[in-house]
Structures are given as C-alpha cells and as structure tokens.
Amino acid sequence: MLKIRNLDAGYGKLRVLKNISLHVDPGEIVTMLGANGAGKTTLLGTIIGLVRAAAGEIVFRDQDCIRRAAQKIVASGCVLVPEGRQVFATMTVEENLILGGYVLQKKKGKAAVSKELGHQYELFPVLKERKLQLAGTLSGGEQQMLAMGRALMSRPRLVMMDEPSTGLAPLVVRDIFGVIARLRDEGSTVLLVEQNARVALGIADRGYVLETGKIIVQGPAEDLLANRDVQRAYLGREKIE
C-alpha cells in the first residue's frame, strides 16, 4: 500500500531524514519507534505532503506522492492524526467530525457522511455523549478520540497516527490502542508513530526504529520486543533470561 525508497527530507538546508526505505502492506499495523528528534513526525509530514522531499520515492496505492499536494493525498485515502490532537476548539464535537467527512461527502454524498458519523459514535461512544460540546472543553483523551474520529470520517485506506498516547492516563491509552487494533480488524491499515514502545509493539505486526533520521532496526513486532538494544533504549529494561 505504501512504499518509501531512499527518502531524504528536511527543512531548508537541514536534512532530517536520510535514505529512509520502508513499506506498509494492506491490513497491517506498522509502528515507528524513536526518541524525540529522531525524525518520526517529519516522516509522516513528508508522506502526507506537508514537508517537501529532497530525494527518493513515496508511492501510495501505486501513485507517486513526492510532488502531490496534501489535499490530493488525503483524497486518495491517506490521512494523518497529528500530534497534539489539533481539534477545532470553538466548534462542537459533531462539527469537527462532519468537517472530517468533507472528502467523503464529495465522493459519496451527505448520506454517506451521516452513516460514517454513526460509525464513529459507535467506535467512540463518549463522542456521541459530547456531540454538542465544544471540542476545546473536552479532556485530553476525549480530544484524542475526536482527532482520530475526524480523520476516520473520510474512510481512509491508510491512517497515520503521531504519538496518540502523549499525555494520556494509562486507562485512556488502553482504550485508544484498543480502537487502533479494531481498525485493523475492520480492514484499515495503520502507520503508528509512538514513544510508548511496549504498547505499540503489543498491537503492531511489524516495526521500525528510527534514530537521527535513519532506520537502524526493523522486523516483526515480537522480534523487536526481544531485541536487547530495543529493550535498553525503549522498553526500560534488559531481557531477563
């Protein structure tokens, strides 16, 4: 579904990503691990068209995305749930969700948006309870659910999520990652950037470790969980024999 080859990207003369190659197959959850400043957010921004690539290839569903505008990439079925939620604080929950259905409405009409709205309320029951509440008054966990629901309103083929657990209580993190796992069960594909390595690898099929703009380790999630270097750097312990 997504293929990246020899990708370089950054900001001005600052090269953040260096010769990145990876792939995401349909129906997978693939996680990208790395410390702050490793280049994870830059990678997602480059895929979605917000950061200009300096070299390399990005192919999504057999279409070259290197020079495509962000709105066209979204319309083709790739969406980003940004770090920090970035909900529209002065709009209601339902208005935020309906805004996320803009692409779907253009393709399928208002009835499809209404149907998808019901699906998001089924995925996130608290959003239905809060549908007339201003988004800015929601808790952090509720805002994260809203950001996810808004992205899912377009019925994307690939959902990219940037640090969905940031600042959330453990029980809320459990609920968020339960929804991410359910998305795969429903046929969606997920590229997940996450510092909570243990939780991310617990639901992922495969993973990559990004360090200073380069992929240094990759493999099945269970292999990364067992990797001593990954354990020391991201899981807070060494493997106990």
The predicted model scores a pTM of 0.91
Q: What is the mean pLDDT of residues 178-191?
A: 94
Taking the mean position of all CA atoms in its chain, how far away is CA 219? 19
Q: What is the mean pLDDT of residues 162-171?
A: 91
Mean pLDDT of the chain: 93
pLDDT digits (tens, 9 = 90+) for 205-230: 999 999 999 999 999 999 999 999 89
Predicted confidence at residue 234, as pLDDT, reads: 83
**pLDDT band at 104, cuts 50/70/90?**
very high
Q: What is the mean pLDDT of residues 73-78?
A: 95
Checking if the pLDDT of 50 tops 90, the result is yes
pLDDT digits (tens, 9 = 90+) for 12-31: 989 999 999 999 999 999 99
| C-alpha span between 51 and 59 (Å, rounded) | 15
Which CATH code is given to the segment(s) 1-67+165-241?
3.40.50.300
| C-alpha span between 177 and 189 (Å, rounded) | 14
DSSP string, 64-92: E-TT--HHHHHHTTEEEE-TT----TTSB
Task: Assess contact for 104 and 153: CB atoms under 8 A.
Answer: yes
| C-alpha span between 3 and 1 (Å, rounded) | 7
All structural domains of the chain with their residue ranges: 1-67+165-241, 78-155
Two tokens, residue 174: 């459990």
Predicted confidence at residue 236, as pLDDT, reads: 64
Two tokens, residue 153: 């309103």
Two tokens, residue 60: 């999504």
Checking if the pLDDT of 237 tops 60, the result is no
